């Protein structure tokens, strides 16, 4: 009996011990769940019982410096569905047909989306509000409309490489849209509502709304009008000179570094940034399949989005001679009166390096050496500067570091490794061949010449403002460093003005505006392949520069390829428009005043006697047609500008004005062209600098040869110079 009792007690103890162990384990587990995993499990429970929807914030507006909208966001909607709710309603086919009709999608595609085994699916993003209203009116269970925004670019392709674009989720993908994304995007809002396990509504109502915070608005230094001028003339230059590898131009405020315009051509439509701008390239890609097609599309898009002004490097050619001149003057190794003898080539070490002008320039002083862009002159003064000092100034002018500009992808320049920078390399580098730089670095370097030796950093962002126009943040003007003395900078400016007025850059001359600058023609590597980069860098007014400009045309394949022949005249057209738009005051010399065009008197409606009197004190000629007593019409009209000695046709009766055919004067000298046009009963007006030495010919005319115009009309002609580089 005692043995039985002991056995029972032993078993009871074992059971109690088991219960104690189990209880202890459960207690430990419960404690672990409650205190260690509690917050995580609570979060998962909330996630399971609630639906969290994002409300996109409105992306900030991008303005030009004058308040014109370059990029803005408009309200649109995104269509989402809850497949579980649609399944519960049992009308999936009806929903699919209704949505497909409104959204322009295939019914089968919509049906496959709304019948998925999930709680949330997106049917279509960024639909217009009109479509959203149509869907809302149907009151379809399980179909929801989320507020969204879509980016619009009012000017299409204007400044496309600078502004950039956004992706599907309104995140910046390129340009300032990407760089300033953290300011522009704002903070999204949220809607939290209670849902059951199937994703449908709970019996009780719970909803929490967190307002989105809109992004800040960005004001750029870009001027939409200046940008328009630049792009218009770039496009024309590409067409005229058959430029095959694109073109770039930068216009910058010389004192502040504000970029007024930055353009790369060809460009693309910001409202369709993933659509290739070259149909021929697209046609080639369409022939591919699979990964090969995907890669080809990606490569083509990246090339289209490439901003040549900051991403591409090039040999600056003779535009760099202004920098070499500044080095030599600052170091005191050359003076304006130093004389040189150019025989057409110079032996440097084992190499014979030629001047661009066959036969050479003969004897000339330093100023004339710059005006004529003489390579042997620059090789000589480069040797005087020396390798060490040359590299010191190359570095000081900012060519060994990025500018730190406000756009992505800025390239590094390329210079010789110092252990390979010898006599020959110094000689070629002195006239801009060998090292490569970006256009933006070149513009920044020229700012030191304009600002008495102080180099300024280019900037694109001016300030951030809120919706009421209050300034949130300002991006300051930044001076980089003093590179050369004010005296040296002034001397170089004076020389570069003479380069434009009488030297190899005279195609950039604009009467009254004191343009200074330098052309460049660099042969691309490998040499002797017939591919060049034609460029021009200049500023105005030379005595107190307000704007700097750089223009580059990459691989012109027409009859002309020299910087002085194609880059300088294009630059002149851009600067002529820009300087007048910015109301820069002209500074006419006595010679310019004497050769100014004369305004045609407006005499329509005048009596014959009064009309004749109006021309008495004018340097213009007139010709009366008809025997009436009143001038009924005139050609050209009053207010037009004509060169001295031009003839105005005055008609005193309703009669045929005697239309004439415009003669073809391309290829003729100025005097020959003027004689031909005058003999045809028309007037000639010269576009650009006049030629007095015969080293020029008419390269273009407007109206075109063969056009029919009224007698007395003006034919504008443009010259190309044969003695430029």
Active site residues: 318
Choose among 314, 313, 278: nearest CA to 299.
278
Q: At what angle do helices 439-450 and 321-331 cross, to 10 degrees?
A: 40
Spatial CA neighbour of 323 closest among 136, 559, 483, 131: 483
- For 40-69, b/e burial (b = at least 16 CB within 10 A) is eeeeeeeeeeebeeeebbbbbbbbbbeeee
3-state secondary structure of 382: helix
Q: Which residue, among 115, 416, 76, 441, has the nearest Cα to 424 in the 3D structure?
A: 416
Q: Which structure tokens are listed for 286?
A: 């369409």
Distances (CA, A) of 88 to 53, 95, 115, 360, 504: 21, 13, 11, 91, 81
Please say whether the beta carbons of 178 and 163 come within 8 A: no
Label residue 512 left, alpha or beta by phi (over 0 means left) and psi (-120 to 50 means alpha). left
Structure tokens at 9: 């007690």
Quote the CA–CA distance of 461 and 464 in Å, as a whole number: 8
Rounded to whole angstroms, how far apart are CA atoms 448 and 451? 5
DSSP 459-515: B-EEEEE-TT--EEEE----EEEE-S-HHHHHHHHHHHHHHHHTSTTGGG--TTS--
What is the token pair recorded at 20?
Answer: 């104690």
């Amino acid at each position: 009996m005692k043995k039985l009792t002991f056995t029972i007690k032993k078993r009871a103890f074992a059971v109690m011990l088991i219960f104690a162990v189990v209880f202890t384990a459960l207690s430990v587990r419960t404690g672990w769940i409650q205190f260690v995993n509690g917050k995580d499990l609570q979060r998962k429970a909330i996630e399971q019982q609630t639906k969290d929807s994002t409300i996109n914030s409105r992306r900030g507006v991008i303005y030009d410096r004058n308040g014109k909208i370059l990029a803005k966001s408009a309200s649109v909607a995104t269509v989402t569905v809850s497949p579980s709710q649609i399944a519960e309603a049992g009308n999936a086919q009806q929903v699919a047909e209704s949505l497909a009709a409104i959204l322009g999608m295939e019914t089968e595609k919509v049906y496959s989306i709304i019948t998925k085994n999930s709680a949330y699916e997106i049917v279509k993003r960024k639909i217009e509000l009109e479509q959203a209203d149509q869907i809302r009116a149907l009151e379809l269970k399980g179909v929801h409309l989320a507020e969204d925004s879509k980016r619009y670019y009012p000017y299409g392709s204007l400044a496309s490489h600078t502004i950039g674009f956004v992706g599907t989720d309104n995140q910046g993908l390129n340009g300032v849209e990407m760089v300033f994304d953290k300011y522009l995007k704002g903070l999204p809002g949220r809607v939290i509502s209670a849902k059951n396990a199937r994703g449908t509504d709970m019996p009780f109502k719970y909803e929490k709304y967190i307002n989105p915070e809109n992004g800040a608005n960005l004001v750029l230094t870009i001027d939409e009008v200046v940008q328009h001028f630049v792009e218009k003339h770039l496009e024309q230059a590409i067409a005229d000179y058959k430029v095959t590898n694109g073109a770039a131009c930068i216009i910058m405020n010389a004192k502040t570094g504000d970029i007024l315009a930055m353009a790369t051509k060809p460009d693309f439509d910001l409202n369709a940034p993933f659509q290739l701008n070259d149909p021929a390239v697209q046609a080639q890609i369409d022939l591919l399949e699979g990964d090969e097609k995907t890669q080809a599309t990606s490569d083509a898009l990246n090339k289209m989005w490439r901003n040549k002004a900051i991403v591409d490097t090039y040999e600056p050619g003779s535009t760099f001679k202004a920098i070499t001149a500044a080095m030599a003057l600052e170091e005191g190794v050359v003076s304006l009166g130093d004389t040189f003898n150019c025989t057409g080539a110079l032996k440097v070490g084992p190499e014979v390096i030629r001047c661009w002008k066959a036969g050479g320039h003969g004897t000339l002083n330093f100023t004339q050496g710059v005006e004529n862009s003489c390579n042997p002159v620059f090789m000589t003064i480069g040797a005087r500067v020396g390798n060490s000092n040359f590299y010191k100034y190359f570095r000081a002018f900012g060519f060994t570091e990025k500018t730190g500009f406000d756009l992505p992808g800025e390239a590094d320049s390329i210079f010789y490794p110092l252990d390979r920078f010898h006599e020959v390399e110094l000689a070629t580098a002195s006239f801009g061949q060998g090292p490569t730089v970006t256009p933006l670095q070149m513009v920044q370097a020229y700012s030191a010449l304009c600002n008495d030796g102080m180099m300024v950093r280019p900037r694109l962002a001016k300030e951030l403002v809120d919706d009421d126009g209050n300034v949130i943040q300002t991006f300051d003007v930044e001076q980089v460093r003093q590179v050369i003395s004010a005296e040296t900078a002034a001397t170089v400016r004076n020389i570069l003005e003479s380069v434009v007025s009488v030297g190899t850059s005279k195609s950039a001359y604009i009467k009254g505006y004191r343009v200074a600058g330098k052309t460049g023609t660099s042969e691309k590597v490998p040499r002797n392949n017939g591919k060049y980069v034609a460029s021009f860098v200049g500023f105005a007014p030379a005595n107190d520069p307000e704007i700097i400009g750089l223009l580059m045309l990459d691989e012109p394949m027409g009859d002309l390829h020299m910087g002085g022949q194609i880059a300088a005249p294009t630059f002149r057209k851009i600067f002529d428009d820009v300087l007048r738009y910015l109301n820069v005051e002209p500074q006419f010399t006595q010679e310019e005043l004497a050769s100014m065009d004369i305004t045609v008197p407006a005499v329509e409606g005048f009596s014959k006697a009064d009309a004749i009197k109006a021309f008495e004190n004018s340097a213009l000629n007139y010709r009366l047609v008809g025997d009436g007593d009143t001038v009924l019409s005139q050609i050209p009209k009053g207010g037009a500008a004509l060169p001295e000695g031009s003839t105005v046709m005055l008609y005193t009766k309703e009669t045929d004005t005697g239309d004439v055919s415009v003669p073809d004067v391309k290829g003729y000298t100025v005097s020959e062209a003027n004689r031909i046009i005058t003999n045809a009963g028309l007037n000639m007006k010269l576009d650009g600098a006049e030629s007095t030495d015969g080293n020029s010919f008419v390269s273009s005319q407007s109206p075109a040869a063969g056009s029919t115009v009224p007698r007395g009309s003006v034919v504008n002609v443009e010259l190309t110079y044969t003695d430029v580089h």
